[in-house]
Amino acid sequence: MPDDMKLEDVADPAYSPGLFDESLPVILLRARIAVTACFRPVLTQHELTDAQWRVIKVLAGSGPMDVSELSRRTDLLAPSISRIVRDLGVRGVTSRTTPPQDARRSIVGLTDQGEALVDKLQKAVTPIHHHLDGLLGEDKKDLKRILARLTAALSASLPEGWQQGEE
């Protein structure tokens, strides 16, 4: 190494802060953090986590469903869904039933209290959605289309049995 060159000048470019900041996973992660941070004060006020709100929103939009479908639709792993459903059940937000024809299945739905919570929260988050729409303008449609295409392409290329979802 020449005498005037420092070790940091020859560092592996894969660890360069510039390349790290420009990587797609980091950009997507930071966008997710920024977007969810907009909603967090409303959720915190109602003592809900982001994951709990996802479960509630899916149930509100689609009605009761089995735990496996709820896991798939919320992109949460089954153990997380079980914990979330249990915690929301204790709060009176969800109910859990077992169909008589299949005792192995568990159907989760919102209670009346859960429906009321959705109505209240929907009023609180609608202005946030409008704010985000205003920030993105016409780019929102393109962004959603590109992200949907990326998600579909990656999902189709995952190896058999690969687990998607988060904890």
Convert the chain into a string of H (helix), E (strand) and C (coil): CCCCCCHHHHCCHHHCHHHHHHCHHHHHHHHHHHHHHHHHHHHHHCCCCHHHHHHHHHHHHHCCEEHHHHHHHHCECHHHHHHHHHHHHHCCCEEEECCCCCCCCCEEEECHHHHHHHHHHHHHHHHHHHHHHHHHCCHHHHHHHHHHHHHHHHHHHCCCCCCCCEC
Q: How confident is the model at residue 163 (pLDDT cuts 50, 70, 90)?
A: low
Q: How confident is the model at residue 157 (pLDDT cuts 50, 70, 90)?
A: confident
State pLDDT tens for residues 52-71.
999 999 999 999 999 999 99
State pLDDT tens for residues 11-23.
445 555 566 777 8
pLDDT at 17: 55
Mean pLDDT score, 143-165: 80
Average pLDDT, the chain: 86
Mean pLDDT score, 67-84: 93
pLDDT at 5: 43
Q: How confident is the model at residue 47 (pLDDT cuts 50, 70, 90)?
A: very high
pLDDT at 66: 93
Above 90 in pLDDT, residue 117?
yes
pLDDT: which is higher, 155 or 72: 72
Above 50 in pLDDT, residue 131?
yes
Q: Which of 84-98, 101-115, 116-130, 144-158 has the lowest mean pLDDT?
A: 144-158
pLDDT at 113: 97
